A and B are shown apart, each in its own frame.
Chain A
């Protein structure tokens, strides 16, 4: 099973600042990596797939990069609605696995 490790566990950021979230895979997952956002009390929402493609309706301030085992989600200028938990998911190998999440909180 591929283990996905996200860091940091919690990221404290001021509104308007840039946030950089990391996700590492225990094996090569090529570009088969997605990012989702989960706000408190809500279902997850897809942000990014294929490591760098924004899902429909996702603002341009969200961007993804990386391939192989190292991936990054960048939020260029944090808005109030972006404070949430972010999960990466690999879909290169079965079973599909998620990272443990990064909580982005207000500094």
Chain B
């Protein structure tokens, strides 16, 4: 069964850095794009960007370009989302999702990582 398992909840202060992870299993990790999706409290879904772990090709949605960094380590089937300097407005649930082969919809989702940024 395809699984995406994300790292646990984080509580950080403004200005701190953070890297969260998403580990894929039971499929060829290097052959599917992985996306990161933000869900702010009580709000909808926003795609932040995609990475192709096979060659680390990365695409960012315009709203998130320069705000976060998406990376992957294919040797351990893990994708990452990182911030260099968190803001209170980064408080949200972050989901990783596998993008269907040959298409661009999200077919499997991780369980989500809650990030809370508060002084």
Enumerate chain A interface residues (CB-CB to B < 8 A): 1, 32, 34, 36, 43-46, 49-50, 55, 87, 89, 91, 94-101
Q: Report how far A96 CA is from B49 CA in the complex, Å.
A: 9
- Is B95 part of the binding interface, using a Cβ–Cβ cutoff of 8 Å? yes
* B1-43, CB < 8 A from A: 35
Q: Report how far A32 CA is from B50 CA in the complex, Å.
A: 17
Q: Is the CB of A44 within 8 A of B107?
A: no
Enumerate chain B interface residues (CB-CB to A < 8 A): 35, 44-47, 59, 61-63, 95, 97, 100, 103-112
Contact of A98 with B95 at beta-carbon distance under 8 Å, contacts A34-B105, A43-B110 already known: no
* Chain A contacts for B106, CB-based, 8 A: 34, 36, 44, 46, 89
Contact of A95 with B61 at beta-carbon distance under 8 Å, contacts A43-B110, A100-B44, A101-B44 already known: yes
* Chain A contacts for B108, CB-based, 8 A: 46
Q: Report how far A100 CA is from B40 CA in the complex, Å.
A: 12
Q: Report how far A91 CA is from B105 CA in the complex, Å.
A: 6
**Min CB–CB distance A104 → chain B (angstroms):** 15
Q: Is the CB of B44 within 8 A of A89?
A: no
Q: Is the CB of A98 within 8 A of B44?
A: yes
Instruction: Report the nearest A residue to B98, measured CB to CB.
Output: A46
Q: Is the CB of B47 within 8 A of A49?
A: no
Q: Report how far A1 CA is from B46 CA in the complex, Å.
A: 12
Known: A87-B45, A97-B47. 19 other contacts (CB 8 A): A1-B62, A32-B104, A34-B105, A34-B106, A43-B109, A43-B112, A44-B45, A44-B106, A45-B109, A46-B106, A46-B109, A91-B103, A91-B104, A95-B61, A95-B62, A96-B61, A98-B44, A99-B44, A101-B44
Rank and list the top 10 A-B pairs by shortest CB-CB distance, nearest first.
A91-B104, A34-B105, A95-B61, A43-B109, A98-B45, A96-B47, A49-B105, A101-B44, A100-B44, A91-B105
